[in-house]
A and B are shown apart, each in its own frame.
Chain A
């Protein structure tokens, strides 16, 4: 079974983002970029499947600028076999990304596609579900645990009330949550090896997908700022403030 793993190049999770003064977006100039943390979890899960002999090949795919090939290289260094970069400039909405992935799935015929549940830049939480719908495949979102069987998979999911397990027929889409695994660091020898692994370069047009945004971003602004309050010295002072000043207990 082939496993596809989409990976997105995003602002590093440690960076404090700044909104641009002209309100057109956030400032990404000279900012550290990394693989979306949830996608690291996806790559780890796929590579583990390969190590257990359950996956035959792991293909890392990305829609993004030329530099997204570095993100694919990271996936290759973690153990993916080859990559596909679909080159675009500018923001591509989840629906268009899902359409590109659908076309790749039709060409590659994977048994499982593992995506992150959300990208930490646009926080949309849509692409995996959209891809599943476009393909007419089932989905196991917010995965906490994966158990593969013959022709199906049991996916335990993190939900608001706790955990839920669904059985999905394969091929299927899975989106990863934080507790699925702990992604490995790529070793130096594997980083060297990854340099020789192939990355195919494509464009959205190769898949007949129009990536023009459908939503119009009118502006991007800063959220209201919270002011730091006061320091209290004792527990009883804290309770007094909460009771008599704020009136919340």
Chain B
């Protein structure tokens, strides 16, 4: 039962999501190979080769794969699929984009966002915004799986697999990358940060998010947001935590001016510790918070900044 894991990276750095997907793949029992598709991404392949449990890294280095555009990446995976019993990708916006194309062409169902490998053909996955957990058994044949990375520990960098070049597949010529506008930040990424401080509609403006950024900088935290804060234009779309945004599970999640709608909880309720600051003591966020502070955030957050400074953060 050999597995192929599709690597998540930006051509320079291998993302943590890959190491977590590898650890899900090793639980299937067979050898694990990693496909690094990209452009000028040799260093990424070297990093993937170090992941514990990886037997071989396949490197498809071609301009066509620079931005992981779905149509050519799916063709590449299909050109290799014959050698594998399972194909796994992290449930990032990339994995969610190309992998269902692969499943459809293989005529197999995709199992989305697995939380647990129960046995090599049986998996747990969330449905209804994580309010129910489905245990599903895949039929015989190839398995195509996306992995919810918060549910798996990252494979450690203790291995030393070989890197092998593979040929690019033909470009289907259906689509092309035009441009991108990436959020720039010196802070950790939302999905790998140990601490996250998120703001909601209660923040009232994008400018007020600077209050949270100050705290984030003291705690080396990432800044997140609710859908309402993104819809209102306070912060960019990639800040959104929730059922239809990013799923996070940091050591500490601080929710500020967020009511705690089920769609938001779906993205953060597996955090180790949750703290909430909200002026409404009835806000549902308090039902999941380990520590709740009923307060006006415009008083509490500046005060927190001062206190943290005093404590030497």
Seen from chain A, the residues whose Cβ lies within 8 Å of a Cβ on chain B are 11, 13, 16-17, 19, 26, 38, 93-95, 98, 117-118, 120-134, 136-142, 144, 154, 157-169, 177-179, 214-223, 226, 228-236, 238-239, 241-243, 246, 248-249
Contacts and interface: CB of A to CB of B under 8 A. Distances in A.
Interface string B288-313: 11111111000010011001100101
A177 B113 CA distance: 18
B279 to A, nearest CB: 13
A238 B293 contact: yes
A218 B295 CA distance: 45
B251 interface: yes
B311 A239 contact: yes
A138 B110 contact: no
B98 to A, nearest CB: 8
A166 B230 contact: no
A129 B104 contact: yes
Given A161-B182, A221-B132, A230-B290, A166 B177 contact: yes
B176 A11 contact: no
A167 B70 CA distance: 12
Given A136-B172, A161-B238, A179-B230, 18 more contacts: A17-B131, A17-B132, A94-B100, A94-B109, A121-B128, A124-B110, A126-B110, A133-B74, A133-B100, A141-B93, A162-B238, A216-B137, A219-B135, A220-B127, A226-B287, A230-B291, A238-B291, A246-B290
Nearest to A95: B109
Nearest to B269: A226
22 contacts: A94-B110, A95-B107, A120-B244, A121-B127, A129-B104, A133-B105, A139-B97, A163-B181, A164-B180, A165-B180, A178-B230, A214-B108, A214-B138, A220-B127, A222-B132, A228-B286, A229-B274, A239-B311, A241-B291, A248-B195, A249-B219, A249-B252
B193 interface: no
A239 B289 contact: no
Contact of A133 (B10, B101, B134, B262): B101
B304 A239 contact: yes
A130 B101 contact: yes
Interface string B239-279: 00001101000011000000000110000010011110100
Nearest to A38: B244
Given A164-B177, A166-B177, A220-B127, A178 B231 contact: yes
A138 B175 contact: yes
B129 A123 contact: yes
Nearest to B272: A248
Contacts of B107: 95
A126 B300 CA distance: 43
A248 B311 contact: no
A223 B133 contact: yes
B133 A222 contact: yes
B179 interface: yes
B125 to A, nearest CB: 8
B40 interface: no
B33 to A, nearest CB: 23
Contacts of B122: 218
B170 interface: no
Nearest to B111: A215
B238 A160 contact: yes
Given A13-B263, A95-B104, A214-B139, A139 B70 contact: yes
Contacts of A134: 104-105
Contacts of B138: 214-215
B103 interface: yes
Contacts of A214: 108-109, 138-139
A32 B166 CA distance: 52
Contacts of B176: 166-167
Contacts of A93: 109
- Most chain-B Cβ atoms within 10 A of its Cβ — which of A38, A124, A236, A248? A248
- Most chain-A Cβ atoms within 10 A of its Cβ — which of B175, B252, B300? B175
A141 B68 CA distance: 13
Rank and list the top 8 A-B pairs by shortest CB-CB distance, nearest first: A229-B290, A138-B174, A129-B100, A130-B104, A133-B101, A248-B252, A138-B175, A133-B104
Contacts of A11: 128
B236 interface: yes
